[in-house]
Amino acid sequence: MLTSIKRLILLLGLSLTLAGCASNPPTGPAYDPYENVNRSIYRFNTALDNAVLKPVAKAYRFVLPDFVEVGIGNFFSNLDDVNVIANDLLQGKFRQAGSDTGRFLYNSTAGLLGFIDFSTRAGMVKHNESFGQTLGVWGVGEGPFLMLPLLGPNNARSSAGIVVENLTTDVPNLTIDDAGTRLGLTAVEVIALRARLLSAGNLLDSAALDPYLLLRDFWIQQHRRATWDGKRAVGIGERPDSDSLDELDELDALDELDELDELDALDELDELDELDRLDELDALDEAVEMDEIDRLDALD
């Protein structure tokens, strides 16, 4: 039953990806046709995180000594290197695959199954590759942005990649038969990851902008950057409705010109009024001068 569900998700993700191939290049706008649904899932994830994950992560961080917390993070990072190596090879990054293989073997042996990260100290850089990125390198489009329950921000391509990795390179899934043990390891991994992201979550909570849009655009940019590794320019382009915004700006400019024209007309009227007043003053001056001349004539 579980395998059937995974296959269904995979087929759905691939179909959405193929449907969105030409819709969002690496510098295109965020392609979010299901924004209303995504926002609902985002609210669900946020409520679950606030009620369960965040308190548990805080307790986890408070109870465990720092070196134990770091060791658990290293352990799961080391398991992830199996997936990284596979995607290195699929992307043709053979030198990086050799480095990551050496890293995995070194940490798995001298590092006690990865709890101690000797490889980083030895200058072997940790890489992050996923099957979603591999599909991107192969030319498969991103597809629409998707906010997945529990898993958070993704797109159709990365969602399909998650299912493939779960069936192929997920070490606990492939090596541990007991479902309870696999579930326990997954729970610990999620809690450890959430503990590392506590500060990032606080930043998101305090953001003055729409937190959904902030998270979506940040994730899209990071995913594009990780996929192309500097080989192509990446970024979040303008929204598709920017032309209509330009039209509104032009209308606003015309309105401002109309207002200026009205002001100019008023100014002209004011100037005419001032001229009329000046004419009236001139007439009064002339009348006064005439009166004075009449008085002088009378005195003479």
Are 279 and 206 members of one domain?
Answer: no
Domain end position, chosen among 193, 217, 240: 240
Domain boundary among 205, 221, 240: 240
Judge whether residue 205 has pLDDT over 70. Answer: no
Query: Which structural domain, as residue segments, surrounds residue 13?
Result: 2-240
260: left (phi over 0), alpha (psi -120 to 50) or beta: alpha
Contacts of 193 (CB under 8 A, 6+ apart): 76
Q: What dihedral angle (degrees, nearest 10) is formed by the CA atoms of 149, 151, 154, 159?
A: -90
Q: 126 and 183: one domain?
A: yes
97 in the same domain as 32: yes
| Percent above pLDDT 70 for the chain | 68
| Greatest mean pLDDT range, 3-7, 86-90, 137-141 | 86-90
No. of H helices and E strands in the chain? 13, 2
Q: Do 285 and 257 sit in the same domain of this protein? A: yes
Note whether 136 and 16 are same-domain residues: yes
Tally of domains within the chain: 2
More confidently predicted of 185 and 266: 185
* Greater model confidence, 198 or 208: 198
14 pLDDT above the threshold of 70: no
- What is the rounded CA–CA span in Å between residue 172 and residue 167? 11
Q: Across-strand partners of 152?
A: 148
Tokens of 18: 């193929």
Q: What is the pTM of this model?
A: 0.72
Question: Are residues 257 and 133 part of one domain?
Answer: no
Q: What pLDDT is stored for residue 286 in this prediction?
A: 53
Report pLDDT for 293. Answer: 44
Average pLDDT, the chain: 79
Q: Point out the domain boundary residue: 218, 240, 262.
A: 240
Condensed to tens digits (0 to 9), the pLDDT of residues 140-193 reads 999 999 999 999 999 999 999 999 998 898 888 888 888 888 889 999 989 998
Let me know: does 24 contact 145? Beta carbons within 8 Å.
Answer: no
Among 18-27, 57-66, 190-199, 267-276, the range of highest mean pLDDT:
57-66
Please state, in angstroms and rounded to a whole number, the distance separating the CA atoms of residues 147 and 214.
13
Mean pLDDT in residue range 42-53: 94
Look at residues 61, 251, 90 and name the one whose alpha carbon lies nearest to residue 161.
90
- What pLDDT score was predicted for residue 197? 82
Note whether 37 and 23 are same-domain residues.
yes
Q: Are residues 90 and 227 in the same domain?
A: yes
Is there a single domain that holds both residue 141 and residue 77?
yes
pLDDT digits (tens, 9 = 90+) for 221-264: 999 999 999 888 898 886 544 443 444 444 444 444 444 444 44
Q: Which residues contact 189 (CB under 8 A, 6 or more apart)?
A: 76
Do 23 and 141 share a domain, yes or no? Answer: yes
281 against 40, higher pLDDT: 40
Over 70: is that where the pLDDT of 284 sits? no
Q: How far apart are CA 30 and CA 47, in angstroms?
A: 25
Residue 161 shares a structural domain with residue 207: yes
What angle separates helix 66-90 from helix 94-109, to the nearest 10 degrees? Answer: 150
Quickly state the pLDDT bin for 291 (edges 50, 70, 90).
low
Selection from 196, 202, 223 nearest residue 31 by Cα: 223
Q: Does residue 265 share a domain with residue 135? A: no
pLDDT of the residue at 175:
85
